[in-house]
Amino acid sequence: MVSSTARRNVLTRLGGTRATQRVASPAVVIGLGSTACQITQHLENATDSWSASDKKSLGFLYLDTREATREEISRASRFIPLTLPHFSNLRDLRPWITECVPELKHLSLSREGALGMLANAGVAARYNYAAMRGHIDSIISEVCPYYEGKTYLRVHVVAFLGGGTIGALPVLLAALSEARGTAYNFSVVLHLLMPQRGLSRDPDNSYPLQLRNTYSTMQFLRAATGVEAGEGKHTGSDTFRITVYPDKLIEATGPHFDIALLHRSPKDSIPAQRAHVARILENLVADSWGSGSDWWARYHETMREANNRVDARFGSISSKEVGLLEGFFNLTARQYLQTKWNVGSR
């Protein structure tokens, strides 16, 4: 007869074995912007109790235009501050600047971040491109050692669609495109947080700006998948070009992401939003068993059924399945224009 102590020891060993198998595919999680960095930190903290082999297969990278974010995350974490040099050291009319703004006077990046302006983050990301590439290459080589025969991983990018720092997303995707051109093969999953009026600190003023940023970013992402703006049909090209400091032209070839998942908070509560998205991320990163394994199986089935139709790379997620966003872009455009009309008619 097996004693209760022996049974507990067996179960403990089984539990430990199961825990070491949480992560089947190495993963890098990138938080872009203050909200996304907080969610990424939430996830990193949740993995502290995971096995050493699991944690070895995970990497976390933080990027933000807001200086205070550095103090809000672990000191051991990789953080890239998206800052600019003093304006007197900037040359006007350089391509890496004029791709975002026609003149320097239109930039207003501060210690508090991008101030809701996409151009501020776009210029800052271009200026810090070399640091971005260096950190990405380093973290990929750590979680997916080529000498061990590992060449595949997933990259999860978390960002708030309504914030100004989302303006750095094209530069980040270009850096990932260059990294993919090396010996590694990886898929990119975008986790995009939708603006919600109930979560806005100033609904009457900041929420319309958040909708504008969302609309602009989503249209860029559609174009990056080869969807012609205004036409809703494929152009056959998923390549875009950007110039980074000091005037280096990057030709970013696609596919730039495998799927963009849009997340809404279940409550009008920022802590609830962070916990909700972090929980989804934890399930997707733990892809060896349980909810994560089931979700990835459903995802592949859904994408096969989509058969590469327009906007097939955009979806939403529930606890059990992924659904493609039929009619989402028409709805977003209508909401954006309606809000803009209401604000302009006051």
Alpha-carbon distance values, 157 to 127, 170, 260 (Å)? 20, 12, 9
Q: Mention every residue, 6+ apart, whose C-beta is less than 8 A from residue 98.
A: none
Task: Give the model confidence (pLDDT) of 256-270 as tens digits.
Answer: 999 999 999 989 999
Q: Mention every residue, 6+ apart, whose C-beta is less than 8 A from residue 255.
A: 225, 238, 313
Q: What is the pLDDT of residue 336?
A: 53
Q: Which CATH superfamily is domain 24-344 in?
A: Tubulin/FtsZ, GTPase domain (3.40.50.1440)
Task: Give the model confidence (pLDDT) of 39-63 as tens digits.
Answer: 999 999 999 999 999 999 999 999 9
Higher-pLDDT residue of 1, 313: 313
Phi, psi of 28 (to 5 degrees): -120, 130
**pTM score, two decimals?**
0.86
Nearest to 231 by CA among 332, 323, 315, 311: 311
**Where are the domains positioned within the chain?**
24-344
- Over range 294-302, report the average pLDDT: 84
